[in-house]
Amino acid sequence: MNPRSITFQLTAWYAALLTAAFLLLGVFLYFGMRHHLHRSLADSQSKRARVIADTLVARVPETGEAALPQEITDRYAPEINSRFIRITHRDRGVLYTSAAPRDASFDPALIAPVPQPVKKTFTRIEQPADGNDLLIVTVPHPAAGAPAYTVEAGAPLAAAQAVMRDWLFTLALAFPLVIAGALGGGWFLARRAFAPVERIIRSAEQITQHNLIERLPVARTGDELERLSAALNHMISRLDVAFQHNLRFMADASHELRTPLTIIRGELESLLTQSPPAPDLPERIGSALEEVERLTKIVESLFALSRLDAGEAQAESVRFDLAQLVASTAEQMCLLAEDKHITVTCRADGEVPVVGDRARLKQVVVNLLDNAIKYTPADGRVNLRTSTDASQAVLEIADTGIGIPADALPRVFERFFRVDKARARAMGGAGIGLSIVKAICVAHGGQVEVSSEEGRGSRFKVTLPLATAEIKKEGAHVVS
């Protein structure tokens, strides 16, 4: 048994609390009961003493003190009832003391006299030498002025003490049973409550990268455990997706790198084995260099992607005009389009302020414009447009190119996806450009969408949060 386990700690707490509650209740009941028993005995003795005082002692002027013993014996029979009655005169001392009871439960002779004069009623517990405690109530008579008589009425505490002893005995018997019950019950309840956790732990220990499709058992308890197991399962699903994604990414990346490497190697080997050197040596070195260029681009793209994945999409965060960035980038890339006789127009209506990483957002424009030019045949058109829409900056790049088939549209932002591998490869594309665009847009709190019709052209729409103007607010400058 692990003392640090929750089951153990819950059981220990449960047992400790139950034991403490039981002890407290026991002590409370013990003293409550004792108080109650003493009070009811005191009440009855007080009543008796008062009745004797108000009836028998009050009539002494008529009947005389000598009649008292007989009258008390006749009315109360203290020897038979095991009661103690004593009447004392302030000056003449004890006038009457009841005889020893028949059951010898106490000895009246051992009860010490009360010091005179007695001015008010009081209760005391006498503990005579014989060990039989007596509860005695003393009542003065007459009650007002200077009382001449005191009447004492008492009864043994033995019966009440016996009840208390029985009670203590029952408590002592029940105590170990309660502790055992609390420990057993606590252990059982804690084990039952944590059984689903045990199952989850056992299943979780079995899950590795090789069986990420397995899931943890979901305890249908409707409580936090059900939520925990469901949340863990969702996490495993996400890990599974990410893991599969990574595996695919690595496979695609190595495949992409292998092809140009094979070509370069083949070219170089054939050059090496030829003597005299081939007459087309410069062309073949040129072709190998082209492949090296392609490789370099792929590696650079992969590097850019891995940095984006690592959360480095925003190396800087500055406020700038997206319209201006788009116009200048389009101008720089015009030559590419001119070579293919493609007309590039750029419509930027006014300032479109955004906050972000200028270089990365320029990459977005370059990749989209490059694709538009790449996939548009000669004499086609590419239109760039920047605008603002509510709180958003919008960049649209539309072309009259080959378009994208409807079934490929949802996948164009996936890594290494190309509609037509052979054609894209011939154009130098590895299928990473759009995934970089998407990663940058998402990192800037925006998004990119595509709509396209095969044979008629494509339209890419980038939306980014618009940088709000500098607002003067109660003397403070807020720039967002």
Q: How far is the CB of 398 from ligand ADP (least distance, A)?
A: 9
Residues 330 and 351: their CA atoms lie apart, in Å, by: 16
Q: How far is the CB of 459 from ligand ADP (least distance, A)?
A: 9
Q: Give me the residue whose beta carbon is nearest to ligand ADP.
A: 429
Residues 440 and 383: their CA atoms lie apart, in Å, by: 22
Q: Is 178 or 313 the residue whose CB approaches ligand ADP more closely?
A: 313
Q: Is 88 or 371 the residue whose CB approaches ligand ADP more closely?
A: 371
Q: How far is the CB of 425 from ligand ADP (least distance, A)?
A: 8
Cβ–Cβ < 8 Å for 337, 400: no
Please, how many CA atoms are within 13 Å of residue 90, restricted to the half-sphere of its CB?
11
Q: Which residues contact 306 (CB under 8 A, 6 or more apart)?
A: none
**Residue 152's closest CA among 57, 67, 64?**
57
Residues 461 and 446: their CA atoms lie apart, in Å, by: 11
Q: Is 232 or 292 the residue whose CB approaches ligand ADP more closely?
A: 292
Cβ–Cβ < 8 Å for 121, 43: no
- Radius of gyration (Cα) for the chain, nearest Å? 52
Q: How far is the CB of 298 from ligand ADP (least distance, A)?
A: 9
Residues 413 and 48: their CA atoms lie apart, in Å, by: 104
| 431 DSSP 8-state letter | S
Q: Is 140 or 429 the residue whose CB approaches ligand ADP more closely?
A: 429
Q: How far is the CB of 458 from ligand ADP (least distance, A)?
A: 4
Q: Is 141 or 294 the residue whose CB approaches ligand ADP more closely?
A: 294
Q: Is 108 or 403 the residue whose CB approaches ligand ADP more closely?
A: 403
User: Residue 270 burial by CB count (10 A; 0-12/13-18/19+): exposed, middle or buried?
Assistant: exposed
Strand order in the sheet with 392-399: 343-348, 381-389, 392-399, 457-465, 447-453
Q: How far is the CB of 4 from ligand ADP (least distance, A)?
A: 53
| Start-end of H helices in 140-223 | 158-206
Q: Is 266 or 428 the residue whose CB approaches ligand ADP more closely?
A: 428
Footprint of ligand ADP (CB under 6 A): 367, 371-372, 375, 399, 401-404, 412, 417-420, 424, 429-435, 458
φ/ψ region of 144 (left if φ > 0, alpha if ψ in -120 to 50, else beta) reads beta
Q: How far is the CB of 302 from ligand ADP (least distance, A)?
A: 12
Count of all residues that appear for the chain in the document: 480
Cβ–Cβ < 8 Å for 90, 117: yes
Q: Is 158 or 450 the residue whose CB approaches ligand ADP more closely?
A: 450
Q: Is 126 or 399 the residue whose CB approaches ligand ADP more closely?
A: 399
- Phi (first) and psi of residue 327, to 5 degrees: -60, -45
Cβ–Cβ < 8 Å for 446, 377: no
Q: How far is the CB of 444 from ligand ADP (least distance, A)?
A: 18
Q: How far is the CB of 234 from ligand ADP (least distance, A)?
A: 29
Q: Is 57 or 448 the residue whose CB approaches ligand ADP more closely?
A: 448
Q: How far is the CB of 373 from ligand ADP (least distance, A)?
A: 8
Q: In this structure, what token pair is assigned to residue 419?
A: 């509609």
Cβ–Cβ < 8 Å for 330, 384: yes
Q: Is 41 or 434 the residue whose CB approaches ligand ADP more closely?
A: 434
Residues 50 and 63: their CA atoms lie apart, in Å, by: 18
Q: How far is the CB of 403 from ligand ADP (least distance, A)?
A: 6
Residues 442 and 355: their CA atoms lie apart, in Å, by: 13
